[in-house]
Amino acid sequence: MRRHPIALALLALLLGSALQPLPGLVDAVTGTVPAGADLVRPIAYTVLAPLSNVLDTLTFLSVQRAEALLVGWVLALALWGALRRGTLGQRIRRALLGPLTIVLLGVAAVLLPRPVPWLATSDPSVTVIDYHAHTAASHDGRPGWRAEDLAAWHAAQGFQASYVTDHNVIFNQPVDEPIRLLPGVEWSVYAQHVVALGAVAPIDRGVYNRDTRAMLGLFAELHRQGALGLASLPEYWEHHWGDLNDFVAAGVDGFEVVNCAPRAIGFPASLRAQVLQLAAQHDLLVVGASDNHGWGKVTCVWNLSSPSAHGYRANHVIARSIALAQGDWEGWTAAYTQPWLMLRSLSWSERSSWITWILVILIYRAVPRRAGDSAGIGILARSLELFKVRRPEG
Ligand SMILES: [Zn+2]
């Protein structure tokens, strides 16, 4: 116990967190576990669960919580490294190594290619769709992030279609493989982003940029074009929270209620409930948006769109529960609440993978090395051999 306190604490947390399980997916409207949708984890994802889960968890952070988590872990690991016994050089190296690992994990969450979970549905009549995503045509899109890259990103996660909504640049490329990309645009008008879906035409943004009243006129213009207009997060939350009834009166077709962008993912459940009530009253669409810009490998939300339904009932928003939790926890607690949320939402196969990795590392470290042996994988093989030999017979 004294020799491996971290491994044993981690094992205790892995088992303890299973007593307070969080479902992997939640219906963002009802708050219940969705009946017709499942998160499917590829085998490679599960085998690498400690890495997969940590990188997913780092992706689903609000800006404030990301900062708190970074500062908390960098300080804690630097201090721990500096205070452990050793020569001055060793202590400096350890004090730098921990924080460097955290930064590298952050970079890996954004850039590292890896297996990702995908959404499977049992209802063949629904379409798994994304209403809001970007390419390099957006000023803040990842350089070189083509429509084909975006389509592949979506396809890997179970999407069957996605609107492409670049900032003030109309998308109209015919892309059908691996999934169909649909035309749209995200207009920036008077501190609001309006996601326009369908065959949109250019507008003079100056007309809509004067004040809130002028901005709201965009919805009527979109209807003239035969397009739909959705109010995007975080803008209506940050800048137009008092104007939502006017949005409805002006003809808004719906509201984003989940958006995975770091500035929007912290939208609190209490405010989401108010928007849901307004949308239900007026039979408006409510949607989730990956708002992907080419960074990060996983979405926090999917939509199940039913062609037979209309308005409020036409779309089901299925979100990762850890993403929805971002708005419900104080930002400063992220250094410990984010890992705790991750552990609670592990499936049993992921939990088993974590435990296996910990045991493998424990065995590896527990076997005494012969003088001159380096810390290679050969030691592990030999130690497993050792276990075999030592097992009592009969
Ligand atoms: Zn966007």
What is the predicted pLDDT for the residue at 339? Answer: 97
Cβ-based burial of 381 (10 A; exposed 0-12, middle 13-18, buried ≥19): exposed
* Mean pLDDT across 40-58: 98
Q: pLDDT value at position 118?
A: 98
Using the mean position of ligand 1's atoms as its centre, give its distance from the Cα of residue 182 in Å: 15
| Distance of CA 310 from the midpoint of ligand 1 (Å) | 24
Q: For residue 43, report the distance from its CA to the centre of ligand 1, in Å.
A: 32
Q: Going by DSSP bridges, is the β-strand pair 161-163/127-130 parallel, antiparallel, or unpaired?
A: parallel
124: Cβ contacts below 8 Å, ≥ 6 apart: none
Q: Distance, CA 55 to ligand 1 centroid (Å)?
A: 22
What's the CA-to-centroid distance between 367 and ligand 1, angstroms?
Answer: 53
CA of 187 to the centre of ligand 1 (A): 9
Distance 95 CA to ligand 1 centre (A): 38
- The torsion region of residue 65 among left (phi > 0), alpha (psi -120 to 50) and beta comes to alpha
CA of 380 to the centre of ligand 1 (A): 48
pTM as predicted: 0.91
Indicate if the pLDDT at residue 161 is higher than 60.
yes
User: What local confidence, expressed as pLDDT, does residue 355 receive?
Assistant: 97
Q: How far is the CA of 186 from the centre of ligand 1 (A)?
A: 7
| Ligand 1 centroid to residue 79 C-alpha, Å | 39
- Predicted confidence (pLDDT) per residue in 169-204, tens digit: 999 998 999 999 999 999 999 999 999 999 899 999
Sign of CA pseudo-dihedral 311, 315, 316, 317 = negative
pLDDT at position 11 is: 95
Ligand 1 center to residue 104 CA distance, Å? Answer: 26
CA of 212 to the centre of ligand 1 (A): 20
Task: Give the confidence band of 308 by pLDDT, cuts at 50, 70, 90.
Answer: confident
76 CA distance to ligand 1 middle (Å)? 35
Average pLDDT over residues 125-144: 97
- Beta bridge partners of residue 320, listed in sequence order: 25
> What's the rounded mean pLDDT across residues 342-357?
97
For 176-311, strand residue ranges (E) read: 180-182, 184-189, 192-197, 228-231, 254-259, 285-289, 301-305
167 CA to centre of ligand 1 in angstroms: 7
Q: How do residues 252-307 score in pLDDT, each as one tens digit?
A: 999 999 999 999 999 999 999 999 999 999 999 999 999 999 999 999 999 999 98
In tens, the pLDDT along 350-368 reads: 999 999 999 999 988 877 7
Centre of ligand 1 to C-alpha 168, Å, is 10
- Residue 394's pLDDT is 43
Chain-wide mean pLDDT for the chain?
Answer: 93
Q: What is the CA radius of gyration of the chain?
A: 24
Instruction: Tell me, in angstroms, the distance from the centre of ligand 1 to residue 195's CA.
Output: 8
Dihedral sign computed on CA atoms, order 246, 251, 255, 261: negative
Mean pLDDT of 126-135: 97
Report pLDDT for 239: 97
Distance, CA 353 to ligand 1 centroid (Å)?
35
Ligand 1 centre from 83 Cα, in Å?
45
